[in-house]
Every structure is written in structure tokens, then in C-alpha cells.
Amino acid sequence: MTTIEILSSILVILGSLSIIVGLLGVYRMPDFFTRLHAASVIDTLGTILILFGLILYAGLNIVSIKLLLILIFILITTPTAAHALAKSALHGKLKPMTDDD
């Protein structure tokens, strides 16, 4: 295995592990808003690591350009979707958990 293949494998494994750990964290969160925040942050981080690993493995060709475009799309849509869900929950009268609860 070359150095790039090893680094690529490490990034994919780290991305997968961060998503798994994030899922366990989401399970332990107390309310919708904290779960939404944790899920969007962990999903984005894990996806970035996995896609960077795949880009390194693919080398400089059309596949890596497509993966980079997918990465940009995910970086734009994940926070936007999380914001839309949180705003919808607030308009639906779902109250965030406070320290008093």
C-alpha cells in the first residue's frame, strides 16, 4: 500500500467512526434542537472526512472533481436543512429545553 492509500483509508475510517460516535451522542441528547445540532455537525464532519479520503484515493481525475462537487453540495445543504428544521419546529410551538427543565 502506498502512503496515499494509507492516508485515504485512515480518513475514511475516521469519518465512519465520527458518524458512529455522533449517532450515539444524538441518542443521548435530551431534546429535538440539541439532537438536530449534533446530527448536522457530526454528519458534516464525517462526510467531509470520508469524501476527502475518497478524493485522495481517486487521484486527480474526473471522479475526484465529482466528489469535490458532492462535498460542496453537502456543505451547503446540511446546514440549510438543519436551519429549516429548527425554524419549522419553533414555528410549530416546539419549545427548546432550558436549564430550568
The pLDDT of residue 93 is: 85
Q: Report if residue 22 sits inside a domain.
A: yes
Task: Indicate whether 101 pLDDT > 70.
Answer: no
Contacts of residue 30, defined as CB under 8 A and 6 or more positions apart, other chains included, come to: 97
Question: What's the pLDDT tens digit per position in 68-96?
Answer: 999 999 999 999 999 999 999 999 988 88
Q: Report if residue 8 sits inside a domain.
A: yes
Q: Report if residue 78 sits inside a domain.
A: yes
Q: Report if residue 97 sits inside a domain.
A: no
- CA-based max dimension of the chain: 55
Q: Report if residue 96 sits inside a domain.
A: no
Task: Look up the domain containing 75 and give its range.
Answer: 3-91
Q: Report if residue 13 sits inside a domain.
A: yes
Specify the number of domains making up the chain.
Answer: 1
Q: Report if residue 39 sits inside a domain.
A: yes
Question: What's the pLDDT tens digit per position in 32-60?
Answer: 999 999 999 999 999 999 999 999 999 99
